[in-house]
Amino acid sequence: MAKSISELEEIARKCRVEIVKMVHRAQAGHPGGSLSEIDLLAGLYATRMRVRPEEPKWSDRDRFILSKGHASPGMYSILAEMGFISHEDLKSYRVLGGVCQGHVDMKWCPGVDFSAGSLGMGLSFGMGCAAAARLDKSERRAFVMIGDGEMQEGSVWEAAMAAAHHELGNLKVILDRNRIQNDDFCEAQMRMFDIPAKWKAFGWNVKEIDGHNMNEIMEGLDFLEAPENCKGPSILIAHTIKGAGISYMENNPSFHGAAPNDEQFHQAMVELGEVEA
């Protein structure tokens, strides 16, 4: 039942529509990092994640940890697409009592395995999940998505060093390299120089891809799963565009954490092919 590239692209397009609707409805939230990650999430969930939407707590499920948990609209949209939650649930984003809390929360939302919100925590948590899977002699994997700004947290590197030391081949990271963080471009806030070299130096298997090209995403996920890359931790560095798919959000730091107004919302729906111009 393998999905074709165009089917995967259509899933991602539908998710983009939901992402923009969520932040527009809430008039708050984080569209930029949700739009940059969504092709990766669509590819990962629709073709690799061993999960049972009807049994979200199935013990041998792969874990997905959205460490950059502010980009929750992206995750909620793919969880709805997979059937963990309903499309109606998406309307509860940032609403009192809603399953779609501002930051993804394992206490509130089926399919969410990590309560995020503080950057730099998910990789350590993922390492714990991977170590537990190994103890359980389970085949399950831990996939962790981190942001490039997030990588500036020292705790990320504590986890990176420890995961390589413990040769956790079931731990797989996807880095959303969209070159923007909260206040500005990463280049202005904190230069990170040679990112692939840093991860290699920490003992990780490293591959770089275009995070919006579904063919490359499939190759990248193949790389993460390849037997020779399951002897130690691996990272996919996905070059992305913050706000990808909505022209005025693309590469625009102001849409890290801001909602579109009504006019911008309409334009986004046109650009995503949802409505006629």
Ligand X SMILES: Cc1ncc(C[n+]2csc(CCOP(=O)(O)OP(=O)(O)O)c2C)c(N)n1
Q: Which residues bind Mg ion (CB under 5 A)?
A: 147-149, 178, 180
Q: Is 129:135 a contact under the CB 8 Å cutoff?
A: no
> What single DSSP character describes residue 209?
E
- In this structure, what token pair is assigned to residue 215? 């063919």
Decide whether 181 or 267 has the Cβ nearer to ligand X: 181
Q: Which of residues 3, 9, 25, 28 is near another protein by CB under 8 A?
A: 28
> What single DSSP character describes residue 205?
E
CB of 54 to Mg ion, least distance (A): 34
Task: Tell me the window of 33-41, 55-63, 145-153, 164-172 that interacts with another protein (CB under 8 A).
Answer: 145-153
CB of 166 to another protein, least distance (A): 23
Q: Which of residues 176, 207, 229, 255 is near ligand X by CB under 6 A?
A: 176
Q: Which of residues 31, 43, 126, 149 is near another protein by CB under 8 A?
A: 149
Other CB atoms within 10 Å distance of the CB of residue 13: 16
Separation between Cα atoms, residue 44 and residue 218, nearest integer Å = 8
Total residues at interface with another protein (CB under 8 A): 31
Q: Write b or e for each residue in 30-50: b if 16 or more Cβ atoms lie within 10 A of its Cβ, otherwise e.
A: bbbbbbbbbbbbbbbbbbbbe
Residue 194 binds another protein (CB under 8 A): no
Residue at 108: amino acid letter? W
> What single DSSP character describes residue 2?
P
Residues of this chain, 75-94, that bind another protein according to CB under 8 A: 94
Three-class secondary structure of residue 142 per DSSP: strand
Other CB atoms within 10 Å distance of the CB of residue 4: 9
Sites of contact with ligand X (CB under 6 A):
30, 32-33, 36, 68, 70-71, 118-120, 147-150, 176, 178, 180-182, 242, 256
Sites of contact with another protein (CB under 8 A):
26, 28-29, 69, 94-98, 101-103, 105, 108, 115-120, 149-150, 152-154, 181-183, 188-190
